[in-house]
A and B are shown apart, each in its own frame.
Chain A
Amino acid sequence: MNTDFDIVIVGSGAGGAPIAREAARAGKRVLVLEKGPLIQPQDSSPNGRSSFKRDELLSDGAEKILTLPGLANTGSSYYSSHVEPDLNDEPHIYQGAVGADRATIEGYTAQVVGGGTQLYGGVSLRFTPTDLRLKSFNEGRSSLPSDPNDDVKRNARDWPISYDELEPYYCKAEKLVGLNGEQTNQQKPFSQTDTYQPPLLANPISQFAHTGMQALAAQLNPAAPVQPYRTPLAVITRDHEPSGRKVPDPESLKTSYVNRYGDPLGYKSNTWVALLRPLTTLENFEIRCNCVVTHLQSDGTRVNRVFYLDPSGQEQSVTGKIVVVACSAIETVRLLQLSAALDGRFDQQINQNGLLGRYFLTHCFGGASALVPGRYDKSRSLDADWATDCCGVPSFLESHQLWAGAAIYNNTSDQALPLSLLRTHYAEDLDSLWNGFMADTSLRGQGLIDFLQEQFGRGLSVSFMGNHLPQATNRIQLHPRITDKWGRPVAHIIKNWHPHDEYLMDTMADQCGQVLRLGAGSDPSFKFLGQGSVKDSPLRIANHILGGARFGDDPADSVLDKNCRAWHFDNLYVTDGAFMPTSGGANPTNTIEANSFRVADQIVPLL
């Protein structure tokens, strides 16, 4: 096997794949190292079958029991996807507000070629121009609610790049990855009109969300309502020339085996089918999967060797003129910290300002749910139909005294299948699957029929995804006690909400509740179930993991420079969500991909 490359990329998801594509197409010798398996969709599998399946016990499988000692959830049951890391083998340990450590894995942390883009629902929004300049936006504003110490002004950061600098790369990512959606009504400028394939017909249940979003827009700003648009989704609906994928029958694509499922047919645009698989005909591109990178070694200002374990656990190493780390924010920070612990020179270069691991971010997340009048076949849908930016525009942030905004979209595929309906009944998140069902012993026989009669095909939820205020105390470090299956310390994450985050979540949950209430009008069979947010959830702390190695213009205030190069290295780059100084008011994948295409334009010419 080759051991010398122009560029070695750790991770094959949203942060790594765009750079691999650009470098490989430029003729550079590229190696992608991926910890997880390579699961082919049917059309590139040797026997025409995929290990991704439409099987409700693959997304959340058999019961397992957490045996790691001394944790707040030791002894509890968990149910993981076949491509999620196992909790006993490779947990993330979160320190909760009560100081008790708890093992968990974030939703959508997937160990597989394609990373989280294999499991995601595919919601692929852009961040708004304001999302990228929250320091400037908040300067000069009077104090905000629940922020007595002016933490917003102290901690908000502008990105070192503007929306306009990123915008061409959004276009590039959207076209190359393969999204469907519509631009009209989005409050983000588009320089090209053809970035999306056309959306499929919305599931009829989403009409309530659509009507509600229109009504909310009219309430918020009668003179110039910010109208909803079809949610951009990473599912191709037409033949996709850049990746060579074909769509024989668009409307047949609809399946609720989408969010938390890999797609056996390859229509969901993950980074494997969209960006990497087309490279496999090139001799200068190689991907080694089932290979976990253990540490990077430095000779001063260069990373001169990347060490990994091959599929049976034998240590191997390779070199690259450039090394890109993009294995999801927590694992990236952990890899850099593990490297520093093993190599004094690496430590000296990466830890010059104590910021590595700091300003870990997730999203302020929550929403509202209801049972709508009538019944709909939710099993024939994609993950989300309608979205609105009406709570992300500056006028909304001013009127509601928020430091930053949030996107709102409706979920269509949730609880569409019988087991997902039952196991997420009153479950706060993926760490409490089945708990609500089990606690509700009235769900038996006729009681179960009544429950299905009331709920099946009638549930509609609306979610918000909002900016999380950066705090230095929210951080990723190495756990002092727990090790993974390779004997390496696991990540220890400390994360708490700022009071203004809680204020933002309450405000946004209320908007989502309004969407549903306004959408149903006065129909007596409409039943509002509730609204809320992750601020009240003591369990799984994040779905999106970001920050920890933020980029900036000032080496004293950031870990990476504007091009995502570690400040004191010549050849080390970080391009997963770890680079983000603020988390944006939307799902992050599209932005991670766009930024990686931008970084690729900077570094490929250096090779």
Chain B
Amino acid sequence: MDAQYTLNYCTKYLARYNPEARHAFTPADQGTVAGTICEAWRFPMIDTYAGGSGDITDPALFSSYNQVTFVFRELATKPATSVGVIGTFNNLYSVIPMSRVPFGDVPTAFWAISVAVPKRQVHRYRYVVDGKVMNDEINPQTTSLPTGQVWSRFFTEECAENLVLEDWEQALLYRLVEQMAPFRTTDGQRFLDQFYTFLDNSNKISNYEHAYRFDESVGEVGYIDNLLAREEHHRLVDYKICLSIIRQVLRLRNPFEEPVAISGEYYNALYDEMATDKVDGWDTSRYGSPLFFLNLLRRHACAGSFSHPKYGGNSGGAGWAYLSERFPDGRGGTLFDWGAAIEPPLGRNAHYLG
């Protein structure tokens, strides 16, 4: 555990006197510890793995892992003598001890441990504080077991599992996003067909579990699911309500087919109506502004297309590669040489390690 690295997050996001829920962006966040903390979603910290775990010492494997740093904040009124973490990333019931983070020769209120966890995984975990098992009250992410038990949850980079959206919601979202990103045009589609054809099969299976979708997108829906599970979890409620309204609206318009199966014309028309903020059949008592949701979705779809693949979209750099191919320099090269700046193995910068 790198004390400097850990404190860099603890002080900015956790340390404070003000108890107000300034970071509670939805009513559900009111009254939670996370609502009083800035960017609580940053915990546990998911970062580049670069060694440190005794199990993974071969640098060639580093890019398949993330470094995950768990942080426990001790309250002045409740000093702890031992803190550890259990979770499905380890064998579930052996406690990994956490240590108190020092500031020079002074102890702080923070306990932490960094571990290596493979990318593209979802795990549940709990803290064990002086023998008592408890959830991480900083991290807003939780998961419920079939038994009804609630655990803290985290996921690593490039995660392709459905985290917060149901299958039908993802499928509907996929149809909506087609209207926004540039990849559903003839030209875009041709590019993606080619891009994914050239990925070898093993790569496709290990890296792109939902590869069937990539024929027509670069994984924007996966990005949105990740984002709604973590950084912008306050927007999940917008999606839940609006996707349900949209399904209802489309069913009214075509009662004979499932909304996810109807022709693009319906989605096209829906987009145009949402853009004017007036959608026939939209239940405004449930969600006031279809335009507001459209714009949220557009921002997310674009960010998902072109942000770093670690966020779950732009799979394999497909969004960037699309621009590279689209803008050739006429000499066999490109006018968007994105790989030059980006770390290997995704990019080819000789110095930057990600």
Interface residues of A (CB under 8 A from B): 1, 36-40, 42, 46-49, 51, 53-57, 61-65, 67-68, 86, 88-89, 111, 248-249, 252, 255-257, 264-265, 288-290, 309-313, 375-377, 379-380, 417-419, 422, 434, 437-439, 441, 443-446, 448-449, 452-453, 456-457, 483-487
Within 8 Å CB of B302, what residues of A?
419, 422, 437, 448
Whether B320 sits at the interface, judged by CB under 8 Å, is yes
CA distance A457 to B302 in the complex (A): 18
Q: Mark B300-331, 1 if CB is under 8 A from A, else 0.
A: 00110111101100000001100100110100
In the complex, the answer to whether B108 meets A252 with C-beta atoms within 8 Å is no
- Separation of A605 and B4 alpha carbons in the complex (Å): 33
Specify which of B67, B291, B310, B353 lies most central, judged by the most chain A CB atoms within 10 Å of its CB.
B353
- B110 at the A interface (CB under 8 A): yes
| A434 and B50 alpha carbons, distance in the complex (Å) | 34
Chain B neighbourhood of A309, CB < 8 A: 15
Complex Cα spacing A56 to B306, Å: 9
Question: Are A377 and B38 CB-contacts (below 8 A) given A47-B51, A311-B10?
Answer: no
Contact between A49 and B12 (Cβ–Cβ < 8 Å)?
no
Whether B180 is near chain A, meaning CB under 8 Å from some CB there, is: yes
Q: Are B17 and A487 in contact (CB under 8 A)?
A: yes
List 11 other contacts, CB 8 Å, given A54-B308, A438-B298: A38-B8, A47-B67, A54-B352, A62-B232, A64-B25, A265-B352, A377-B334, A379-B336, A419-B302, A422-B306, A448-B180
CB distance from B68 to the nearest CB of A (A): 14
Which chain B residues lie closer than 8 Å to A68 at the CB level? 22
Q: B337-354: which have CB < 8 Å to A?
A: 337-338, 340-343, 349-354
Contact of A252 with B181 at beta-carbon distance under 8 Å, contacts A311-B108, A452-B326 already known: no
A–B pairs, 30, beta carbons within 8 Å:
A47-B50, A47-B52, A48-B51, A49-B50, A49-B353, A55-B307, A55-B308, A56-B308, A62-B41, A62-B232, A63-B299, A67-B24, A89-B18, A248-B350, A288-B103, A288-B104, A289-B8, A311-B11, A312-B108, A313-B17, A375-B335, A379-B338, A380-B340, A441-B271, A441-B275, A441-B295, A445-B184, A448-B180, A448-B302, A456-B336
Q: How far is the CB of B185 from chain A (nearest CB, A)?
A: 5
Contacts of B25 in A (CB 8 A): 64-65, 67
Partner of A255, one of B303, B306, B341: B341
Chain B residues within 8 Å of chain A by Cβ, number? 84
Write out the residue numbers on chain B whose beta carbons fall within 8 Å of the beta carbon of A57: 303, 307-308, 311
Verify A419–B298 contact, CB threshold 8 A.
no
* Contact residue among A36, A38, A54, A457 (Cβ-Cβ distance under 8 Å from B327): A457
Neighbouring B residues of A443 by C-beta, 8 Å: 298
A452 to B7, CA, bound (A): 41
User: Given that A47-B51, A437-B302, A438-B298 are known contacts, is A53 also in contact with B354, CB under 8 Å in the complex?
Assistant: yes
B298 close to A51 (CB less than 8 A): no
Q: Is B109 positioned at the interface, with any CB of A under 8 Å from its CB?
A: yes
User: Does B23 make an interface contact (CB < 8 A)?
Assistant: yes
A379 touches B337 (CB 8 A): yes
Task: Decide: A449 near B187, CB < 8 A? Known: A249-B350, A311-B10, A312-B109.
Answer: yes
B7 to chain A, nearest CB (A): 5
Q: Which 3 A-B pairs have the closest CB atoms?
A: A37-B8, A62-B231, A290-B11
Contacts of A38 in B (CB 8 A): 4, 8
**In the complex, what distance in Å separates the CA atom of A63 from the CA atom of B17?**
24
Chain A residue at minimum C-beta to C-beta distance from B328: A375
Pick the contact of A449: B16, B182, B308 (CB < 8 A): B182
Q: How far is the CB of B106 from chain A (nearest CB, A)?
A: 6
Asked if residues B7 and A290 are in contact (CB atoms below 8 Å), the reply is yes
Min Cβ gap B5→A in Å is 7
Chain A residues near B294 (CB-CB < 8 A): 441
Q: In the assembled complex, which residues on chain A have CB atoms less than 8 Å from the CB atom of B227? A: 62
Q: Contact at B311–A457, with CB atoms within 8 Å?
A: no
Q: Once bound together, how far apart are the Cα atoms of A310 and B48, in whole Å?
A: 27
Q: Do B15 and A313 touch across chains, with their CB atoms under 8 A apart?
A: yes
Instruction: Given A1-B106, A375-B335, A422-B302, decide whether A37 and B7 contact each other with a Cβ distance below 8 A.
Output: yes
Partner of B48, one of A37, A49, A65: A49
Please measure, in the bound complex, the distance between the C-alpha atom of A49 and the C-alpha atom of B350, giving whole angstroms: 14
